[in-house]
């Protein structure tokens, strides 16, 4: 994937197709980024007419996407509750929820567990395993390759609740993993109780590696074979070729993939909820689980909303980094 | 792990060893990924299933027969179909309409809009169901099927607009110009010329949204309360009896029935166009 290809939008570009009869024969404005609004009334009306088809999408996004985001910021300053008087008429409580949050001993733990979960299962697990499988597939037998692709993708295509139950069964005390271990003469621990984080991390690697694998397969297919061959003739070994040629050439895919899987993993709820429900104690309570528990188990919607707002801010920060990382390719 | 195989270089005997080693490692990985799924299939065929993976002593379709009732399976699957089909239709229609001006006209508005869309793709919106719940309570939309459908459509819309615009950019404009010359309006050209030409791409977007909505648990779990409206993802909890007894076999059988449609849809997409095609629409700009 060439950097130019990943540019978020082609943007105003003299080479862009412009429909016949869309006015401005010499179209000088469009090459300048468009300054149509300053034009005569007719141009403005035409622009409005052109934008009209955007309306359904914009309405949907405003009501159901921007709405909850704005509501999240607002609600985090209230004492909204699940039931009772505070459910009907929540009071403005200022920064109370945030003060409680930063004094809550569970919060730093949840933040830390979220970081551990994202780094271990997405950035290390899914990313490297996905890249490894994609690289091996280029070398291996075609049949074996597609067979592996199929099994890896199977875990990814399953509905999340089914994947979560399957992972629960696999890691439970008498589950498949311990059966396999005992076949080798080992006694496995009760994974979900003694090593809950390890269990959910492995489960998320199992569930999500397919995405990285597919991104890297597509990226590796775009690396021209001549370049690899030229390096081979120059005597570069496999490792050297990988580090000096393949990796730099798929760099933009790596960035894209890392950001997407980080954000996906940040919002994982169902898998953890079914496998451990955040327990035992708070030992696997990540931020989404904590927000849910505070809101629905302890009936404190305002507090749960404050946690959700923190997650939104983390997600937004990642988005900004992601979009900026893609910009240099814009040229 | 992979470094060892990658170290093999040009010489052909070593290349053969490398290939064999790659095959070996991949087969081990495949087995690791397949192992958890074995329980699902075996338990669904075993009337005495538990969380242990075992070859059924008396294999039968009893579990399937037990769950194939209107209340247990058909209604939840129908609800899932309504939710995901509705979300996918709403998303594709809104995305096509929005992508058209973004793809065809050069406007000052395009760049900020596409950046906003890209930003929207990244927000962990499904992780913040708490404020969504309280907003829906305030708007009296809790337990409303259409509202849940539109919410799901809105969450997948940024990605869908992104993909649709990329697919539309690759439809040559000359055909539309012909339609314009013949006096067709922009919307007629879109409906008669562009949409038919990008049907495979729209199919990908539709299936992509459908699979996501079909598998989504958290959104309907929070937003839909009455059992008669709940999709399969949520009704699966009915196999957890009130007295702590879990019908493992039936749970597994139901899971298989619930998973089959998305597996078939996925197979359709990847066979027709290849997974890399799907992703190239999604990721390349």
Query: Given an 8 Å threshold on Cβ–Cβ distance, is B181 in contact with A20?
Result: yes
Average pLDDT in chain B: 82
Asked if residue A280 has a cis previous peptide bond (ω within 30° of 0), the answer is yes
Q: Which of the four pLDDT bands, split at 50, 70 and 90, describes residue B273?
A: low
Cα separation values, A172 from A62, A193, B78, B264, Å: 43, 9, 32, 29
Q: Which of the four pLDDT bands, split at 50, 70 and 90, describes residue B236?
A: confident
Task: Inform me whether the C-beta atom of residue B43 falls under 8 Å from chain A C-beta atoms.
Answer: yes
B96 vs A232: which has the higher pLDDT: B96
Q: What is the pLDDT of residue B97?
A: 92
Q: What is the pLDDT of residue A25?
A: 38
How far off is chain B from A178, nearest CA to CA, in Å? 9
The residue-averaged pLDDT of A227-251 equals: 81
Tokens of A169: 């069964």
Q: What is the pLDDT of residue A243?
A: 82
- Of B204, B251, B276, the C-alpha closest to B40 is B251
The residue-averaged pLDDT of B16-36 equals: 88
How far off is chain A from B228, nearest CA to CA, in Å? 19
Query: Given an 8 Å threshold on Cβ–Cβ distance, is B34 in contact with A159?
Result: no
Query: Given an 8 Å threshold on Cβ–Cβ distance, is A21 in contact with B151?
Result: no
Place of tokens 């990285």: A212
CA A96 distance to own-chain centroid: 30
Contacts B38 to A, Cβ<8 Å: 176
By C-alpha distance, the chain A residue nearest B34 is A151
CA B167 distance to own-chain centroid: 19
Quick: pLDDT tens for B113-131. Answer: 888 888 887 788 767 788 8
Contacts A291 to B, Cβ<8 Å: 127-128, 130
Query: Given an 8 Å threshold on Cβ–Cβ distance, is A10 in contact with B285?
Result: yes
Contacts B128 to A, Cβ<8 Å: 68-69, 72, 291, 308-309, 311-312
Query: Given an 8 Å threshold on Cβ–Cβ distance, is A170 in contact with B9?
Result: no
Tokens of A98: 């945030």
d(CA B98, CA B118): 14
Residue A291, pLDDT > 50, answer yes
**Domain at A99-330, CATH from 1.10.3720.10, 3.40.50.720, 1.20.1250.20, 1.10.10.60:** 1.10.3720.10
Q: What is the pLDDT of residue B283?
A: 47
Residue A134, pLDDT > 80, answer yes
Q: What is the pLDDT of residue A40?
A: 62
Residue A65, pLDDT > 80, answer yes
The residue-averaged pLDDT of B39-59 equals: 82
CB atoms within 10 A of CB A254: 17
Task: Inform me whether the C-beta atom of residue B26 falls under 8 Å from chain A C-beta atoms.
Answer: yes
CB B154 within 8 A of CB A64: yes
CB A190 within 8 A of CB A198: no
Query: Given an 8 Å threshold on Cβ–Cβ distance, is B107 in contact with A137?
Result: no
Cα separation values, A155 from A151, A174, A274, Å: 7, 21, 16
| Partner-chain residue, chosen from B95, B127, B266, that has the shortest CB–CB distance to A57 | B95
The residue-averaged pLDDT of B210-237 equals: 89
CB A6 within 8 A of CB A256: yes
* 3-state DSSP assignment of residue B240: strand
Place of tokens 């089909």: B85
Domain parsing of chain B, residue ranges? 2-44, 63-283
Sign of CA dihedral A184, A189, A192, A195: negative
User: Is CATH 1.10.3720.10 what the domain over B63-283 is classified as, yes or no?
Assistant: yes
Residue A4, pLDDT > 70, answer no
Percent of chain A clearing pLDDT 90 (strictly above): 23
Quick: pLDDT tens for A149-205. Answer: 888 988 988 999 999 999 998 998 888 888 888 888 888 788 888 899 999 999 999
Out of B8-22, B57-71, B82-96, B186-200, pick the least confident. Answer: B8-22
Task: Inform me whether the C-beta atom of residue B285 falls under 8 Å from chain A C-beta atoms.
Answer: yes
Question: Which of B28, B127, B146, B179 to mutate: most A Cβ within 10 Å?
Answer: B127
B118: region left, alpha or beta (phi > 0 left; psi from -120 to 50 alpha):
alpha
Q: What is the pLDDT of residue A289?
A: 92
Query: Given an 8 Å threshold on Cβ–Cβ distance, is A50 in contact with B107?
Result: yes
The residue-averaged pLDDT of A72-87 equals: 80
Q: Which of the four pLDDT bands, split at 50, 70 and 90, describes residue B5?
A: very low
Beta carbon pairs, A and B, within 8 Å: 358
Out of A86-95, A282-291, A293-302, B83-92, pick the least confident. Answer: A86-95
Out of A123-127, A287-291, B266-270, pick the least confident. Answer: B266-270
């Amino acid at each position: 994937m060439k950097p130019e290809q990943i540019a978020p939008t082609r943007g105003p570009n003299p080479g862009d197709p412009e429909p016949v009869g869309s006015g401005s024969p010499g179209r000088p404005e469009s090459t300048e980024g468009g300054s149509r609004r300053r034009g005569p009334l007719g141009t403005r009306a035409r622009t409005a007419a052109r934008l009209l088809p955007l309306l359904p999408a914009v309405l949907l996004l405003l009501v159901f996407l921007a709405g909850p985001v704005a509501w999240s910021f607002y609600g985090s300053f209230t004492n909204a509750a699940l039931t009772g008087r505070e459910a009907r008429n929540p009071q403005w409580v200022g920064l109370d929820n945030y003060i409680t949050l930063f004094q809550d001993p569970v919060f730093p733990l949840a933040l830390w567990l979220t970081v551990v979960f994202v780094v271990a299962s997405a950035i290390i697990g899914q990313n490297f395993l996905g890249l490894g499988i994609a690289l091996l597939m280029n070398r291996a037998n075609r049949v074996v390759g597609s067979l592996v692709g199929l099994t890896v993708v199977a875990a990814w295509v399953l509905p999340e609740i089914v994947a979560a139950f399957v992972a629960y069964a696999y890691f439970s005390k008498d589950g498949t993993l311990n059966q396999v271990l005992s076949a080798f003469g080992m006694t496995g621990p009760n994974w979900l109780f003694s090593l809950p984080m390890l269990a959910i991390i492995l489960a998320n690697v199992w569930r999500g590696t397919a995405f990285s694998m597919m991104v890297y397969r597509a990226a590796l297919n775009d690396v021209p074979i001549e370049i690899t061959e030229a390096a081979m003739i120059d005597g570069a070994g496999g490792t050297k070729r990988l580090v000096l040629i393949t990796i730099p050439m798929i760099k933009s895919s790596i960035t894209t993939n890392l950001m997407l899987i980080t954000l996906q993993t940040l919002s994982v709820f169902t898998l953890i909820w079914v496998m451990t429900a955040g327990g035992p104690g708070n030992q696997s309570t990540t931020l989404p689980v904590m927000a849910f528990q505070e809101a629905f188990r302890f009936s404190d919607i305002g507090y749960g909303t404050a946690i959700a707002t923190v997650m939104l801010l983390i997600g937004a920060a990642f988005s900004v980094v992601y979009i900026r990382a893609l910009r240099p390719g814009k040229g | 792990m992979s470094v060892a195989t990658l170290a093999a270089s040009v010489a052909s005997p070593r290349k053969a060893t490398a290939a064999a080693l790659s095959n070996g490692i991949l087969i081990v990985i495949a087995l690791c990924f397949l192992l958890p799924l074995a329980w699902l299939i075996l338990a669904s065929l075993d009337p005495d299933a538990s969380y242990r993976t075992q070859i059924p002593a008396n294999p039968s379709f009893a579990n399937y027969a037990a769950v194939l009732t209107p209340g247990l399976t058909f209604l939840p699957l129908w609800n899932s179909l309504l939710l995901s089909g509705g979300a996918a239709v709403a998303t594709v229609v809104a995305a096509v309409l929005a992508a058209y001006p973004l793809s065809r006209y050069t406007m000052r508005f395009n760049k900020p809009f596409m950046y906003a869309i890209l930003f929207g793709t990244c927000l962990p919106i499904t992780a913040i169901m708490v404020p969504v719940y309280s907003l829906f309570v305030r708007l009296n939309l809790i337990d409303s099927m259409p509202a849940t459908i539109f919410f799901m459509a809105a969450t997948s819309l940024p990605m869908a607009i992104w993909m649709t615009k990329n697919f539309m950019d690759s439809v040559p404009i000359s055909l539309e110009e012909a339609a314009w010359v013949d006096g067709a309006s922009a919307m007629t050209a879109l409906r008669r010329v562009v949409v038919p030409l990008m049907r495979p791409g729209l199919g990908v977007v539709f299936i992509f949204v459908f699979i996501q909505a079909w598998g989504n648990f958290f959104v309907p779990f929070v937003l839909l309360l009455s059992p008669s409206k709940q999709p399969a993802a949520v009704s699966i909890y009915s196999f957890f009896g009130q007295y702590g007894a879990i019908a493992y076999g039936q749970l597994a059988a139901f899971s298989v029935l619930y998973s089959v449609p998305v597996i078939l849809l996925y197979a359709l997409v990847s066979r027709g166009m290849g997974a890399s095609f799907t992703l190239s629409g999604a990721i390349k700009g």
